Structure 1
């Protein structure tokens, strides 16, 4: 069983884009679109000499976008300048030449884009965005042929993906269990032992369609193979031999769809203002977690937290200041919560937290330090520095407590904390 793991850099990823072009109007359009829509820094050169100076002056280069008509270099010299430094390169040109295009793509230029076609600017922005995001995604390549596996891995690395290679189905499933960053799997059908369709079927038992995009690959002429892959859970299929551009388009479309699903899920499950999970998502997670903790006889605590005198903040400081306050509390709550805790904005100025494995003195310290953390906040608002406190009601689970009772009892203790003077924790157990 062979698994080759990617090297994951711990340092921040380079962000700087170099745009090499002698047309001022085009430079303004492209640089403005990338900076405004993608928030990536763009530096501009109009000659090869200027480009070399910028490359020597800075190290954090992510990508080069270059024209081929420069006063001080021919086409090959221009491309060599960037590829020899290992910099990902997109060629943008106003003249279509099929021989030139094929020659550039053979040299592992990422793409060859005609700048005067309708939609070319939008395409360039999408391409830069896709390449920037790819660097945070691991792709799994499953193929028993070392040469075929390396070819696919090389293409994916050209487009910025971190690559994990597996020589058989068992290695692929093992890699998937170990690496949560794998979002894409390229699975060849013709392998000894476990074939690609079966690998896909077993992979789907580990990761759903909204977690990993699977593309089946085969050189077989079997007309039924595409349907077998798709019915086993694949998102798409590529038949060998395929062109580099078809490969990139298929891979990018599937990763785009995966990210779109993630965005839609966030819209459905996250509070827009604070970024915390919303009430619906919290209740769905808690419905699953509470019975599981009870069966395992693990202690748990349900807490409801409320910002004290929040109406006074809105009335006296304005609703914008109120939004700042809500976001600050949400950030403090997220920073305080442990990995196993479930947190949410429950509605209005109320937040909710389900914390497993807390009881006794540890529980008291946990929630009082959260209260103190929020009391220590100095929230900067348009009207000045805002300070606030919270009241917290906590219910430690007792025998027979279900989710409804946990919430009801936590809410009752929140009322007692308010009635007792606010800025305090009232807990049971």
Structure 2
């Protein structure tokens, strides 16, 4: 839970903000209508707040005094204003506010909440700034610091390359085109030979007036380009936009690989990972175990206790399965059907499944619902063809189902 200080005296704006906060269970607002009220709260409880949203013009603070107060306590500060003043905007951004948001529409307030969410994740974002001008490095750091990024400086291309080699977890690289040693352009070409776009974002910088330069940067692997001099707001928007695109791509990749309900691999990803696991086992001449698992009487749970109870059963089963087989490949193949590929021998997999069965019987996944049980088929042998091994395990699962359920049937190549 993040506590957000909100200082606003307009009933209409407060109504809009209250509505948006109700949709954000992880954000808890504390509302004030004046500088005086905010001062009392900050003097007594400033450490409780994660960030602040403040109105620039309050009855007892008509000239933005609330901003200075909030910044005294090192709180990230998002400013709301009813009128646009470009000089005032740049002044506030350089003073250290997160952003200057106009009270124009619902979209404006939603943007303020986007900023709050980005602040939560920005503390894990590492930005490397490679720029030979000390004044420009200082300007960039001053603009980006209020957003809580981890910022690292490099004064030339060679130092930037050394830092990138030492810290491969850099998320975003701001690089000037013209620097001593390796130029920014050469760095981009070199980095893109080794790192894909989703691994690191690159923003090119240059004071060169040639329009072709930005195209050259982007064609050779940069994600975006900024022409110097740039205003603080433009830098913030470009950085945030690039990070949001990266996060969206990551979310799409996650959705393509993982089952949205249980978090286990989906059918397609399970087969892809399983084939690779088979290939590695063949190289090392190591046998593998595969198992097919099916929850018992799952239709009864859905029909008599509702699909929400069925979903809760699937989630808890997947969580317990993951704890029982932490080093195995696990997947939900569809419905109540699960599968695993493991380096454990067949007997050990069987014993682990019996432990899993006892743990599942004790799970409380829905009021009045029956104990959760499953049947399983296990096959242990040479890593030949994944589809064939899963079919052999599925045949054992069929035997387990037709011999009374709630049990595991195992076999191996020597049987």
Q: TM-score range by the shorter chain?
A: 0.7 to 0.9
1:275 aligns with 2:259: no
Residues 86-110 of structure 1: CA deviation (Å, up to 9, x unaligned): 0011111223334433322221112
Q: Does 1:392 align with 2:376?
A: yes
- Does structure 2 retain, via aligned residues, the 8 Å contact 1:38–1:129? no
Distance apart, 1:116 and its partner CA: 3.6
> Is the contact between residue 291 and residue 402 of structure 1 (CA under 8 Å) also seen in structure 2?
no
Question: Shift of the alpha carbon at 1:350?
Answer: 0.3
Corresponding residue of 1:33 = 20
Aligned equivalents of 2:209 and 2:344: distance in 1? 59
Equivalent residue number for residue 64 of structure 1: 52
1:423 Cα shift?
Answer: 2.5
- Distance (Å, rounded) in 2 between the aligned partners of 1:35 and 1:204: 43
**Contact in 2 for aligned 1:169/1:194 (Cα 8 Å):** no
Match of 1:328 in 2: 316
How far residue 244 of structure 1 moved from its aligned partner, in angstroms, is 0.8
**CA–CA distance in structure 2, aligned partners of residues 38 and 255 of structure 1:** 24
State how far apart, in whole Å, the 2-side matches of 1:231 and 1:156 are. 26
- Give the 5 Å matches for 1:23-422: 23-37=10-24, 39-55=26-42, 56-57=44-45, 59-116=47-104, 119-143=107-131, 148-166=136-154, 168-177=159-168, 179=169, 182-221=170-209, 223-338=211-326, 340-355=327-342, 357-359=343-345, 362-381=348-367, 384-398=368-382, 401-422=384-405
Instruction: Please tell me whether the aligned partners of residues 83 and 102 of structure 2 are also in contact (alpha carbons under 8 angstroms).
Output: yes
How far residue 330 of structure 1 moved from its aligned partner, in angstroms, is: 2.0
Structure 2 residues without counterparts, runs of 5 or longer: none
Q: Helix, strand or coil for the counterpart of 1:302?
A: strand
What is the total number of aligned residue pairs between the two structures?
A: 408
Counterpart contact for 2:316–2:365, Cα < 8 Å: yes
TM-score, normalised to structure 2, is: 0.87
**Alpha-carbon contact 1:371-1:392 (below 8 Å) kept:** no
Counterparts of 2:409 and 2:129, CA distance in 1:
54
TM-score under structure 1 normalisation?
0.85
C-alpha deviation, 1:117, in angstroms: 5.1
Structure 1 residue runs without a partner (length 5+)? 1-13
Pairwise CA RMSD:
2.7
Q: What is the deviation of 1:238?
A: 1.6
In structure 2, the CA distance between the partners of 1:174 and 1:144, relative to structure 1 (3 Å rule), is farther
> Shift in Å at residue 43 of structure 1?
0.8
The 3 A distance-change label for structure 1 pair 418 and 144 is farther
Shift of 1:343: 1.9
1:192: how far off?
4.1
